[in-house]
């Protein structure tokens, strides 16, 4: 009886050992299966790098200038005897706008022209007398000099009359006048301002680092004040040197103004587009990881995160040019940059744009 109990207990112990052994072995098998099973990576958004055109825009301050502008002044002192300046009126080049009293000069001019006629008649008679040796050569030359002298005095009088007249130097529009008809004016008196308002000139300054992108014929756009309407202009000239005080290059552009809706002197916000690279690698600014002495990006390679140093180029508000470090076709991580480390498994969701 005792032996039977002992045998039974031994069998129970052996069975328990078998169960424990099998359980441990099954646990080891499960651990091996888990270890061999691929681990799920961190879910991240990524972008496949490709070549894109790059253009950088600048926002600059500018001023609208009249195409031409001049202050109308007389070159002589006197009373205005003719006054054709009407505020706001359009005038043509050469049109007489005002005249200072020049009656004495005109009377003298009339007398000189009469004297010239008599002098020329005398010269003709003396030439005939000289042909028959009835007159000395000296008398003939004196008559010729008299004609030349009178002609010179006539030209002087005509020049004085021109100085007494104020004519429009170009087609334009007259502003507000400062004098009235019959006023006594001097050489420094401004009668009015004449401007040419079509086309207008747009003046702005480009920072030195971008000065080499300013080309004759290049188009720019601008807005005025708080109005959203955009206007176009074309660069026609630049200053010959960069200003040493502002370190900027001054440029001017022609702006058509056929309707006269633009007013010279207005403040303008100029949009200037730099000449960019037609094909370059662009990435979003938030894809850069700052490190000591440079910048890194994170690429997905074989399902794991890889940190790569890059050299950046031109920056815009929405993109950064990559000069070296990555190439077309690389998978660039856009999210999860703070969670990943070198070699971290990642599950990539490819996006078309950032």
Which helix H or strand E contains 348, and what residues bound it? strand 346-351
Domains and CATH numbers, the chain: 42-55+278-351 (2.40.420.20), 59-67+195-273 (2.40.30.170), 69-194 (2.40.50.100)
Provide the pLDDT for residue 114: 95
pLDDT at 248: 94
The answer for residues whose C-beta is within 8 angstroms of residue 229's C-beta and 6 or more apart is: 223
- pLDDT value of residue 124: 93
Q: What angle do helix axes 137-164 and 103-131 make, rounded to 10 degrees?
A: 160
- pLDDT reported for residue 28: 53
Q: How far apart are CA 203 and CA 265, in angstroms?
A: 10
pTM attached to this predicted model: 0.61
Reading the chain (354 residues) residue by residue, the pLDDT tens digits are 455 555 455 445 655 555 544 444 455 544 454 344 445 689 999 999 998 887 677 889 999 999 999 999 999 999 999 999 999 999 999 999 999 999 999 999 999 999 999 999 999 999 999 888 888 899 989 999 999 999 999 999 999 999 999 999 999 999 999 999 999 999 889 999 999 999 999 999 999 988 888 999 999 999 998 788 999 999 999 999 999 999 999 999 999 999 889 999 999 999 988 766 678 899 999 999 999 889 999 999 999 999 999 999 877 778 898 989 999 999 999 999 999 999 999 999 999 887
Residue 37: the pLDDT is 41
Amino acid 277: pLDDT = 66
pLDDT for res 33? 46
Tokens 């042909």 correspond to 131
CA distance 48 to 78: 81
Pair 310, 263: CB distance under 8 Å = no
Given this model, what pLDDT does residue 14 score?
59
């Amino acid at each position: 009886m005792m032996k039977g109990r002992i045998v039974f207990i031994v069998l129970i112990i052996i069975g328990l050992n078998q169960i424990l052994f099998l359980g441990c072995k099954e646990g080891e098998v499960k651990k091996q299966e888990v270890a061999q099973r691929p681990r799920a990576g961190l879910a991240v958004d990524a972008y496949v790098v490709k070549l894109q055109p790059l253009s950088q825009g600048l926002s600059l301050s500018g001023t609208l200038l009249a195409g031409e502008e001049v202050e109308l002044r007389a070159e002589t002192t006197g009373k205005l005897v003719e006054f054709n300046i009407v505020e706001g009126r359009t005038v043509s080049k050469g049109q007489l706008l005002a005249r200072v009293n020049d009656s004495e000069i005109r009377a003298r001019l009339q007398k000189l022209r009469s004297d010239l006629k008599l002098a020329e008649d005398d010269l003709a008679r003396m030439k005939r007398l000289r042909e028959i040796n009835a007159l000395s050569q000296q008398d003939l030359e004196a008559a010729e000099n008299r004609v030349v002298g009178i002609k010179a005095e006539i030209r002087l009088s005509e020049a004085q009359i021109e100085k007494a007249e104020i004519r429009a130097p170009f087609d334009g529009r007259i502003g507000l006048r400062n004098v009235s008809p019959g006023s006594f004016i001097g050489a420094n008196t401004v009668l009015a301002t004449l401007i040419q308002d079509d086309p207008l000139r747009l003046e702005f300054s480009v920072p030195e680092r971008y000065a080499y992108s300013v080309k004759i014929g290049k188009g720019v756009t601008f807005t005025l004040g708080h109005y959203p309407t955009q206007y176009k202009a074309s660069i026609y000239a630049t200053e010959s040197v960069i200003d040493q005080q502002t370190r900027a290059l001054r440029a001017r552009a022609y702006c058509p103004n056929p309707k006269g809706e633009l007013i010279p002197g207005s403040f303008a916000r100029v949009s200037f587009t730099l000449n960019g690279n037609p094909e370059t690698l662009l990435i979003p600014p938030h894809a850069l990881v700052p490190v000591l002495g440079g910048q890194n990006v994170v690429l997905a390679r074989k399902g794991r995160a890889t940190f790569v140093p890059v050299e950046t180029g031109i920056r815009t508000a929405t993109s950064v040019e990559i000069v070296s470090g990555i190439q077309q076709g690389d998978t660039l991580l856009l999210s999860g940059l703070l969670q990943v480390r070198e070699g971290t498994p990642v599950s990539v969701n490819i996006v078309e744009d950032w």
